[in-house]
Amino acid sequence: MLHFTSENPDETKKLAAQIREKYPTHKLILLSGELGSGKTTFTKGIANHLGMDEKDIKSPTFALMREYDDLLHVDLYRLEQPDYLIMDQIEAFVSRGGLVIVEWPEVAIHLMPKPHIHIKIDTEDDTRRFEITENS
Judge whether residue 32 has pLDDT over 80: yes
CA separation for the pair 96, 73 (Å, rounded): 15
pLDDT digits (tens, 9 = 90+) for 9-29: 999 999 999 999 998 888 999
Residue 81, amino acid? Q
CA separation for the pair 136, 126 (Å, rounded): 32
- Contact between 103 and 74 under an 8 Å Cβ cutoff? The reply is yes
pTM: 0.92
CA separation for the pair 31, 38 (Å, rounded): 9
User: How many angstroms separate the Cα of 114 from the Cα of each of 35, 40, 66, 93?
Assistant: 26, 22, 21, 13
Mean pLDDT of all residues in the chain?
A: 92
pLDDT digits (tens, 9 = 90+) for 99-123: 999 999 999 988 898 889 999 999 9
Judge whether residue 56 has pLDDT over 80: yes
Q: Which domains does the chain have, with CATH numbers?
A: 2-135 (3.40.50.300)
What is the model's pLDDT at position 61? 75
